[in-house]
Amino acid sequence: MMKALEDRGRAIGAAAAARVRGRVAVTLRETLPDVAVDVVGDDVVLTGRIAPDDPRLRWIGSLLR
């Protein structure tokens, strides 16, 4: 019984994490149209160039907290 509940909890948590990664990727794509954003496994990967003084980098950093 407990094993089934634990498995169900893990599945619910994994689905929730996948939804969050998807929402983060969508938001990043909208905010940074010049940067490629992909979800690879458990990671959201950004590829492209942004100036070091671009204020959007601070916003991205706030997502990582």
| Domain parsing of the chain, residue ranges | 2-63
Residue-level pLDDT at 1: 81
pLDDT at 63 over 80: no
Residue type, 12: I
DSSP assignment, residue 47? E
Residue type, 11: A
pLDDT at 11 over 90: yes
Residue-level pLDDT at 29: 92
The average pLDDT across 1-6 equals 90
Instruction: Identify which of 63, 30, 31, 25 has the alpha carbon closest to the alpha carbon of residue 46.
Output: 25
Q: Which residues contact 13 (CB under 8 A, 6 or more apart)?
A: none
β-partners of residue 39 are 44
Side-chain-side CA neighbours of residue 63 (13 Å): 13
